[in-house]
A = this chain, B = another copy of it.
Amino acid sequence: MKKNFQQYRTHLCHELGLKDVGQKVSLCGWVQSKRDHGGLLFIDLRDREGVTQVVFHPDKDPVLFASAKQIKDEFVIKVEGVVVERPAGTKNAAIPTGEIELEAEKLEILNPSLPLPFNLDEPIENEELRLSFRFLDLRRKKLLNALKLRHQVTYVVRDYLTSKGFLEIETPILSKSTPEGARDFLVPSRLSPGKFYALPQAPQQYKQLLMVAGIDKYFQIARCFRDEDLRSDRQPEFTQIDIEASFVVVDDILQWVEEMIQQIFSKVLGIELSVPFARITYKQALDLYGSDKPDLRIAWQIQDVGEVFENTEFKIFREVLAKGGVIKAINAKKASPMVGPAGIAELEELAKSMGAKGLAYIRIEDREWKSPIVKFFSMEERKRLENVLGIEPADLILFSAGPWEQACQVLGKVRLQLAEMTRSVAPNEWKFVWVTDFPLFEYSPLEQKWNSVHHPFTRPCQEDVGKLDSGRYDEIRALAYDIVLNGVELGGGSIRIHERELQEKIFSILGIDKERQKLLFGHLLKAFQYGAPPHGGIALGLDRFVMLLSGAETIRDVIAFPKNRHGVDLLTQSPSEVDSQQLKELHIKLNFPSLDSRLRQEPEIEP
């Protein structure tokens, strides 16, 4: 072979220290900064791992010195030289290489750089600009560290699951459209005119088919796609840790995931979590926290005070109870001095935005109860309330009365808002909780039909199966579970249906007729007839998990090349227009109401 070999570098920029003094080395990287000091020229040379200070002496090699003068920020250079100890008083304890510097003997400019459009050391407000220059944005330490963390997390996940006998198996991206969930991305087929692949919203059916195939334990770090309108924490493509296993019960899945997360925290963050995580039912979650994603970092729980008011003269409470509603209260311990009338008003606004008529409260100042409603309470009620809620000076009590779900949810939101107002969320706390026993169905008044809370493959609790025939759909609990971290849903899963008859029954309740069942799910129904084992699994959102672990504010900061809120990659200007010949080959053509060019124009940034 023609010899093109040349050693670019002997070390990375974080490696050199006192142990290397006197050694001849070469480094490559980017010029982070350049400064003159005492007639010398200093360059901070940066690579992925760190920074080394390079020094140029004007007397030792004037030619070299002159060419070093030409260098500008973010030039890519190679420097050869000798490692020397820094003079006393110039050492920098903040970086690993702070005790040495590289005395340059040779310099090669590998590639110059234009001045950057933004500073790499400062936060940048303009995210569109960052995304257009993503190749520079990713040089910023925070984003680089997030990508490193992401790599480490997936590495530990694979390591753990492999050690437990799970096989990673790739399922198709060119998949089948099953328009029962979110909106599909479609891919026109050239070889089958008029037909379309869909990008998978999840590998759900494939992983179930793998269970029927006897794979026993499957996982995949899987790319998934949803063509939904993009909220701040959504991307059209995202990644999930997808797990499925046969011959398992709920506890098996929960235990694996707990151990996996325990290992991630231990190996990646150096934090030891204790397991098992807290487990509460969906009903408990709403009762205590007013949310199916409870943030357990906040100590306050919601309490039912209906008994206190069972014979109350207070009209509002009495009427709610008479209609079968509930009276819920939260005692925000010691919060009263931190929440003035303006704060109360803000919370009331929030409650009203959720359909509540108002937000009753009691502020405890010293021993005095300040409240517009206490005057309607009997002394007996006040005493019982004091007992039930453990009311002490400086507490703030907030009430919500109404139908159970609404009353819980109102106080749930109030609880979060109040915690934020009073800064009651401890930083660096990691509170995991499993929420189980979700309802299987929920009724959509808009569509006038029953929908799955999770998805149609979720198994009902054995005790509730009979209710499928009696039509009491709202009472059926699912063998489904969500995992929640600090009030954020990380993922969810369920034990699945593995019998054709039961699956068909569920489809029918969801309003999917036999013909459509066969068209969309025929393969799965067929598979269930050939020895499908009991199975279940879970999927965890990797992007969101890494976002939380890295302290990033959006999932865009933990994805190398994200789309913006319009689904556009501002760096490559994708999606883009394509040749009409390409469309013709795919047997499609454009279908605009009008060829309004304003609609089709995205803001372009000059390359």
Contact = CB atoms under 8 A, between A and B. Distances in A.
A175 interface: yes
Contacts of A184: 578, 582
B194 A249 contact: no
A274 to B, nearest CB: 18
Contacts of A495: 4
A298 to B, nearest CB: 22
Nearest to A143: B213
A490 B463 CA distance: 55
A245 to B, nearest CB: 10
A548 interface: no
Interface string A162-200: 100001111111111101000111111111111111110
Interface in A382-421: none
Interface string A570-602: 011111111100111111111110010001101
Contact of A523 (B532, B560, B572): B572
Interface string A518-540: 11001101111111111000000
B437 A568 contact: no
11 contacts: A4-B250, A74-B530, A151-B169, A172-B563, A176-B573, A184-B582, A186-B583, A192-B567, A192-B602, A209-B561, A523-B573
A184 B174 CA distance: 13
A584 B582 CA distance: 19
Given A171-B561, A213-B136, A518-B607, A529 B249 contact: no
B237 A174 contact: yes
A256 interface: no
A353 to B, nearest CB: 28
Return the 9 tightest CB-CB contacts between A and B, nearest first: A522-B607, A138-B213, A113-B531, A176-B574, A195-B575, A8-B247, A526-B607, A48-B216, A189-B575
A188 B568 CA distance: 12
A476 interface: no
Nearest to A177: B578
A170 B602 CA distance: 25
B158 A111 contact: no
Given A186-B187, A223-B223, A589-B591, 10 more contacts: A2-B477, A8-B249, A114-B529, A144-B215, A147-B215, A155-B168, A194-B600, A196-B575, A206-B561, A588-B591
B186 A188 contact: yes
Given A155-B162, A196-B576, A249-B5, A116 B560 contact: no
A560 B607 contact: no
A236 to B, nearest CB: 6
A172 B561 contact: yes
A579 B179 contact: yes
A24 interface: no
A175 B46 CA distance: 30
